[in-house]
Chain A
């Protein structure tokens, strides 16, 4: 089915979702934290946009509310918190180079293909539009996951986590026209609390290993010869 056959508002949703996926690549490849946080904020804004478009299409006041909620939480509050934490941790100028950028890019592309393959069975003709969106949101989720795997820096991992959540929001709003309001509020609350706790942990990690490179968190392993008194403390 060609995209032009879709109603105008659905075309808008598809365009916004494509941009969102593009931003996922930007966040994945961006080595400077501040720029990655900005890209993440734009991702949040796009989701708010998608929600508003769906709200207009469905004439649903509850979705307008959740668009505002998404805008406030994902595009403003969480990026602001991350920004502030980055400045307080003095990480503005730190750049983390990816070891194999080309490979990571290819992996992300493979994940998109995988997502399309996975949702292929949902083939009923009238759900064609939905299939596109579900595939894109799954790809955003998986690319966020990939980011958490390839990045070793705690703040970057959290960005990956939050961009996974963005993919979930996209799925919820575009494939199902929004979850029930209670659930949406609950999820937003959990994400906010998680962000606050992540902030607490950045400081705890830095206090314990003097850096935010979580690769250095490697004391707990299954190695049997690791009895250098590290396990000696009572719990």
Chain B
């Protein structure tokens, strides 16, 4: 068995086995073990790719291709899902004790957690645009029942919205995929290779630019819905805030990345096809427009939130907007910054959601108004939240400062005027976060607020990594990201 198949089959097997495991504590441990095995083989896979170059194979007639770009996201996905699984084990026990879900619900939870990881890894590693679509839709299907896990009217509403909006979005992406296949058929003789990304990329210049242009609009709207780009973001704050907290961590930290990955891969194709037309940067401009809009709107909406998880969901939209903008900007510096930002945002955001889970547990509420005085009640949770928010808001010395600094520099080099809304947006978002954060961590603790058993190991690991990436980017990672940005921009 190849490494790739181990990486993919472990979570698939996990999904099947965990559907049968009854005991909650056993299911939690199994979940953790499956994630650990996935991470192990993902790291090994990355090592193979680093030493021997691109891995491409066929499994069950599906082409897979692991290159520098997707392998780093594979490792990131496996890492965050492992640390979230570590958090989820005691957390779901607490959820069970509060009686918000039953045994059956927890079985679905664990099984779908693995199925979700499987579909993300499938989307990342496949070389076939059709399979990419199937996996993206599969990720929605795996998580939609988890969003409604608590069966409150709010949760059911959030899940329905998520299902319908993402379903529609992804249907439009399928139309774009069909159009791409249609364009490919005029160029590529073998009908089975017509959706293979690497073959399409090699022949990108020959693809019909008019068809590809229309196709990209559909693909961007479709996958953009999953990235959470404004105005297609309506489902995101609901889905990320109503589901169980471990789910929020992986949805915000990972799924958005995978959707953005799909958009970037498709942009590479369209850029190739439009190279010799009058508008070679069309895809880039679209990404910049959508990105900047999402970035600004989400920053403003941050101020109006009353629910802590909703607030951080808007922060996710804001950061995804920034990354989309940077990928649209193109150029090796902006792309490098965006890749680094993907990494540090995932780590920080999932750490924040884990902390928020504990904070909500302490206060017995998700409402920002009722979470008060965390540092007094439980310093570890309070400080974690404070540090996490400082990191996500882009303060030095954390990694997000580094990536945002790189993005700003790249913007100033190409479109100096756009640096103004960018800086303004960062300041607005930072103000929005700290405005709500201050009373939550300082403030007076309500009478009788008790510390809870908190598992802050994942938070510590993530924040330490983000800090490390802010102080010094290790040489191998810098080289790696450089290689990826050369791959994406096509410039050596």
Q: Is the CB of A180 within 8 A of B195?
A: yes
Known A-B contacts A141-B175, A208-B152; the reply to A119 vs B195 at CB < 8 A is no
Q: Is the CB of A219 within 8 A of B154?
A: yes
Q: Is the CB of B62 within 8 A of A182?
A: yes
Q: Is the CB of B157 within 8 A of A217?
A: yes
Stretch at the interface among A17-25, A87-95, A103-111, A165-173: A165-173
Cα-based distance from A224 to B156 in the complex (angstroms): 21
Cα-based distance from A46 to B174 in the complex (angstroms): 20
Tell me the minimal C-beta distance from A219 to chain B in angstroms.
Answer: 5
Which residues from chain B contact A207 at a C-beta distance below 8 Å?
151, 156
Which residues from chain A contact B329 at a C-beta distance below 8 Å?
none
* Per-residue B-contact encoding for A105-144, CB less than 8 Å = 1, 0 else: 0000000000000110110000000100010011001000
Cα-based distance from A161 to B174 in the complex (angstroms): 13
Instruction: Confirm or deny: A189 has a beta carbon within 8 angstroms of a beta carbon on chain B.
Output: yes
Stretch at the interface among A3-11, A27-35, A70-78, A196-204: A196-204
Q: Is the CB of A231 within 8 A of B153?
A: no
Q: Is the CB of A189 within 8 A of B167?
A: no
Instruction: Confirm or deny: A176 has a beta carbon within 8 angstroms of a beta carbon on chain B.
Output: yes
Q: Is the CB of A176 within 8 A of B185?
A: yes
Cα-based distance from A227 to B310 in the complex (angstroms): 14
Q: Is the CB of A235 within 8 A of B160?
A: no
Chief secondary structure at chain B's binding surface: helix
Known A-B contacts A220-B158, A235-B309; the reply to A168 vs B364 at CB < 8 A is no
Nearest to A167 among chain B residues (CB) is B175
Q: Is the CB of B151 within 8 A of A183?
A: no
Which residues of B (125-167) have their CB < 8 Å from a CB of A?
128, 130-131, 133-134, 137-138, 141, 144-145, 148, 150-154, 156-161, 163-164, 167
Instruction: Confirm or deny: B361 has a beta carbon within 8 angstroms of a beta carbon on chain A.
Output: yes
Q: Is the CB of A234 within 8 A of B178?
A: no
Stretch at the interface among B34-42, B300-308, B382-390, B412-420: B300-308
Which residues from chain A contact B366 at a C-beta distance below 8 Å?
231-235
Instruction: Confirm or deny: B102 has a beta carbon within 8 angstroms of a beta carbon on chain A.
Output: no
Q: Is the CB of B133 within 8 A of A176?
A: no
Q: Is the CB of A234 within 8 A of B360?
A: yes
Instruction: Confirm or deny: A164 has a beta carbon within 8 angstroms of a beta carbon on chain B.
Output: yes
Cα-based distance from A216 to B357 in the complex (angstroms): 29
Cα-based distance from A175 to B183 in the complex (angstroms): 10
Which residues of A (213-235) have their CB < 8 Å from a CB of B?
214, 217-220, 222, 224, 226-227, 230-235
Q: Is the CB of A180 within 8 A of B242?
A: no
Q: Is the CB of A183 within 8 A of B131?
A: yes
Which residues of B (235-281) have their CB < 8 Å from a CB of A?
238, 241-245, 248
Q: Is the CB of B360 within 8 A of A180?
A: no
Tell me the minimal C-beta distance from A176 to chain B in angstroms.
Answer: 5
Which residues from chain A contact B242 at a C-beta distance below 8 Å?
220, 235
Q: Is the CB of B182 within 8 A of A183?
A: no
Q: Is the CB of A182 within 8 A of B167?
A: no
Residue among A148, A164, A176, A209 facing the most chain B CB atoms (10 A cut-off): A176
Q: Is the CB of B130 within 8 A of A232?
A: no
Tell me the minimal C-beta distance from B279 to chain A in angstroms.
Answer: 13
Nearest to B60 among chain A residues (CB) is A182
Which residues from chain A contact B213 at a C-beta distance below 8 Å?
121
Cα-based distance from A218 to B360 in the complex (angstroms): 24
Instruction: Confirm or deny: B450 has a beta carbon within 8 angstroms of a beta carbon on chain A.
Output: no
Nearest to B173 among chain A residues (CB) is A168
Cα-based distance from A26 to B293 in the complex (angstroms): 38
Tell me the minimal C-beta distance from A235 to chain B in angstroms.
Answer: 6
Cα-based distance from A231 to B364 in the complex (angstroms): 11
Tell me the minimal C-beta distance from A70 to chain B in angstroms.
Answer: 15
Tell me the minimal C-beta distance from A184 to chain B in angstroms.
Answer: 8
Instruction: Confirm or deny: A150 has a beta carbon within 8 angstroms of a beta carbon on chain B.
Output: no
Cα-based distance from A200 to B148 in the complex (angstroms): 11
Q: Is the CB of B156 within 8 A of A194?
A: no
Cα-based distance from A120 to B322 in the complex (angstroms): 34
Known A-B contacts A148-B168, A187-B174; the reply to A217 vs B156 at CB < 8 A is yes
Instruction: Confirm or deny: A193 has a beta carbon within 8 angstroms of a beta carbon on chain B.
Output: yes
Tell me the minimal C-beta distance from A181 to chain B in angstroms.
Answer: 8
Q: Is the CB of A208 within 8 A of B153?
A: yes
Tell me the minimal C-beta distance from B381 to chain A in angstroms.
Answer: 14
Q: Is the CB of A190 within 8 A of B138?
A: yes
Q: Is the CB of A224 within 8 A of B148?
A: no
Instruction: Confirm or deny: A157 has a beta carbon within 8 angstroms of a beta carbon on chain B.
Output: yes
Tell me the minimal C-beta distance from A30 to chain B in angstroms.
Answer: 20
* Per-residue A-contact encoding for B202-220, CB less than 8 Å = 1, 0 else: 0000001011011000000
Cα-based distance from A179 to B60 in the complex (angstroms): 16
Cα-based distance from A177 to B194 in the complex (angstroms): 12
Cα-based distance from A24 to B178 in the complex (angstroms): 20
Nearest to B152 among chain A residues (CB) is A233
Which residues of B (95-133) have their CB < 8 Å from a CB of A?
98, 128, 130-131, 133
Cα-based distance from A176 to B182 in the complex (angstroms): 5
Contacts A182-B61, A217-B161, A231-B307 known; 20 new A-B pairs at CB < 8 A: A141-B175, A165-B171, A171-B179, A176-B178, A177-B191, A179-B130, A180-B191, A183-B130, A186-B131, A189-B134, A194-B137, A194-B167, A197-B145, A208-B156, A220-B242, A231-B366, A233-B365, A234-B98, A235-B245, A235-B366
Q: Offer 13 A-B interface pairs, CB within 8 angstroms, sorted by A.
A: A168-B175, A171-B179, A176-B178, A180-B195, A186-B134, A187-B134, A197-B141, A207-B156, A217-B153, A219-B157, A220-B161, A235-B150, A235-B245
Ranked nearest first, the 10 interchain pairs of A and B with the lowest CB-CB distance are A183-B130, A186-B134, A217-B157, A121-B210, A208-B153, A208-B156, A190-B137, A234-B360, A171-B178, A231-B307
